[in-house]
Structure 1
């Protein structure tokens, strides 16, 4: 048996501002942007460059309860872990693009990591795993 997580929903304030931030600042790829008339919303899927299985569904908040979760989907904990094959390349590019890092790069036995915030305040790890941890 093989299973994988294909999509993770990220609640956003506005589709277009979220697409622009993830594409322009992080270099993500816009996979799909389709209007769903039955639900009066869009199906917006983005992906890190080179990723084949993991993708984000940008879900525009449609209720006050959903709006209250924007930027705080996990109570302030790191929400998503963005793996990279070249930490310093991406770290420097993100900083040049104005991405806010809230914890500086630190080498750990499992890899090099720094924490950044997305445009809504969600915390992310930028992580280059060690070879040993990449294969697990």
Structure 2
């Protein structure tokens, strides 16, 4: 029997949860799925995701053992990576160059307000 059936939520440490919610919802266009007080965690349990996505991101309070500013390894998908790249650059999001290699979907990386790196690749 397989006891694991999917990936539900990946945590991303942030230094300011309100600022992170604004970035992920207003700038990246994610939906706010949950925002609940969790004092024993040192903040709130906040979950965001692209509309209709199966997996989500928890914006967790950064701590000494889980600092902000990491390479999350999270790969986000876009129907048009080049248009997304241009949009986020115009919005002032810190992005790297758009990579276009033969046989590989176009992709780029961006960083949130804490320097956490996320990747965007074309579907």
Fold conserved between structures, TM > 0.5: yes
Mapped to 2, the partners of 1:70 and 1:38 lie a distance apart of: 19
Residue 48 of structure 1 corresponds to: 50
The 8 Å contact of residues 103 and 116 in structure 1, kept in 2 or not, is answered as: no
Corresponding residue of 1:134: none
For 2:120, what is the secondary structure of its paired residue? Answer: strand
1:19 partnered with 2:21? yes
TM-align CA RMSD: 2.1
2:68 maps to which residue?
Answer: 70
Normalised to the residue count of structure 2, the TM-score between the two structures is 0.83
In the superposition, the TM-score normalised over structure 1's length comes to 0.76
* CA distance in 2: counterparts of 1:25 and 1:91, whole angstroms: 12
Aligned to 1:59: 60
Residue of structure 2 aligned with 1:117, choices 102, 108, 111: 111
C-alpha deviation, 1:123, in angstroms = 2.0
Q: How many residues align?
A: 121
| Per-residue CA distance 1:19-65 (angstroms, 9 max, x = gap) | 011112111111111113555531100001331x110011012x433
With a CA cutoff of 8 Å and minimum separation of 6, indicate the structure with the bigger relative contact order: 2
In structure 1, what is the equivalent of residue 32 of structure 2? Answer: 30
Instruction: Identify unmatched segments of 5+ residues in structure 2.
Output: none
